[in-house]
Amino acid sequence: MNPVLRDEIEISKFAKEIKLQPFKLKQIFFEIFKNQNIDIDQMTTLSKDLREQLKSRFEPISIKLDNIVEDPQTTKFAFKTHDWKIIESVIIYHRQKEAHVQDNKPKLNRITLCVSSQVWCPMGCSFCVTGKLGFMRNLSWDEIISQVLYANNYIKNKFWKKEDWTLFGVRNVVFMWMGEPLVNYDNVKIAVDTMLAQDRFSLGRRHITISTVWVVKWIQRMIDDWLTVKLAISLHAPNQKLREEIIPVARGTELNDLMNVIEKYIQATDNRIFYEYIMIKDLTDKAELAMELSRLLKWQLAHVNLIPYNENPAMKHFHESPQANIKKFKEILEKEWVTVTVRDSMWREAKWACGQLGWEKVSRDN
């Protein structure tokens, strides 16, 4: 496989070989990141000769589209890597409530992309189908970036320009699809730095979210490296015993240690922490657990997302919490002054809601 166009060493070597002027290099990166092109032939600010030279030496992105599934709210991509592994990412379209269409362009508040950071996942959470797949490898920083590049190109072709004549594109990136991003810290950091760079994606720090299950030392590394993006903690239980039961890797980290490093992160960044909490019938949805959770998070800069469990045939021992239980759980948290929302349960029928990724493979294997 040829190197990608964003390989700084290879592109610099190429530029030196053909005596390419520095402003031409800037044009190449402008076409990729600002004009949202992933087809070298479409980079029309470059000469035809230069485009032909680039095509003979470089790949525009390091992944290939394998499959695409769409509905009015989302677009899900399955990508094939250079070593024939499958990863996924999904675009979420946040529309205005009135959701009207003008000049064939939907009124969008913003567009979010959920990206994968690993091929499958090493965490093995007991309620998660993806965790049953095991772990293959980390994604490179460019395989992560390529997901954003492909999404931006797709969005441009789908929606074209906004009213201010800037291109539609990804506004928020969430590391919350396949994989545990902080286990792949070095590649994730390079990808985030690329997203933040003004001459690349130019996203704001509060428009990038890293979701993690437990990895204390890497949260400390985020503080040390001043990686001050938004942080979402997949907590799922308010005490050590229950966390170890449903999240096996929690056995290596005390909940108190996790909460201590989170407090350090809040002090360093002044960022609100989002806590993901799965609502599983007769397991995590009990009223006494809501009280424990409120005591754990009360007076903290915290926001709890209650996630109704997404049932599927591959996970027969877990069931969605009844709406009455979710409502009561939420009311207890609110009474104790903990900010809380209940996440919408989208994409269940397609088996690609939270915790369902990889359902088809698990079903075949079982």
Helix axes 8-17, 22-29, angle to 10 degrees: 140
Pick from 89, 191, 178: nearest CA to 140: 191
- Of residues 294 and 364, more confidence is placed in 294
Confirm if 68 and 76 have CB atoms less than 8 A apart: yes
Domains of the chain in start order, with CATH, are 8-57 (1.10.150), 64-365 (3.20.20.70)
Axis crossing angle, helix 185-196 with helix 141-159, rounded to the nearest 10: 40
| Whole-number Å distance between alpha carbons of 43 and 30 | 9
Predicted pLDDT at 267: 95
Give yes or no for a contact between 25 and 83, defined as CB atoms under 8 angstroms apart: no
At 130, the pLDDT band (50, 70, 90 cuts) reads: confident
Q: Compute the mean pLDDT over every residue in the chain, rounded to the nearest whole number.
A: 90
pLDDT computed for residue 273 by the predictor: 97
pLDDT at 99: 45
pLDDT at 106: 53
Instruction: Name residues whose C-beta falls within 8 Å of residue 315's C-beta, 6 or more positions apart in sequence.
Output: 127, 129
Strand pairing category for 74-80 and 86-95: antiparallel
Q: Look at residues 221, 224, 170, 220 and name the one whose alpha carbon lies nearest to residue 194.
A: 170
- The band of 350, judged by pLDDT with boundaries at 50, 70 and 90, is very low
255-284 pLDDT per residue, tens = 999 999 999 999 999 999 999 999 999 999
Bridge partners (DSSP) of residue 279 are 308
Q: 252 or 77: whose pLDDT is higher?
A: 77
What is the structure's pLDDT at 303?
98
Q: How far apart are alpha carbons 157 and 294 in whole angstroms?
A: 46
Q: Are 355 and 309 in contact (CB under 8 A)?
A: yes
pLDDT at 215 over 80: no
Q: Is the pLDDT of residue 354 over 70?
A: no
The residues assigned a catalytic role are 88, 354
Q: How confident is the model at residue 359 (pLDDT cuts 50, 70, 90)?
A: very low
Residue type at position 241:
K
pLDDT tens, position by position, 293-314: 999 998 899 999 999 998 877 7
Query: What is the band of 324 on the pLDDT scale with cuts at 50, 70, 90?
Result: very high
pLDDT 10s digits, 229-251: 999 999 999 999 999 999 998 98
Q: Is the pLDDT of residue 101 over 60?
A: no
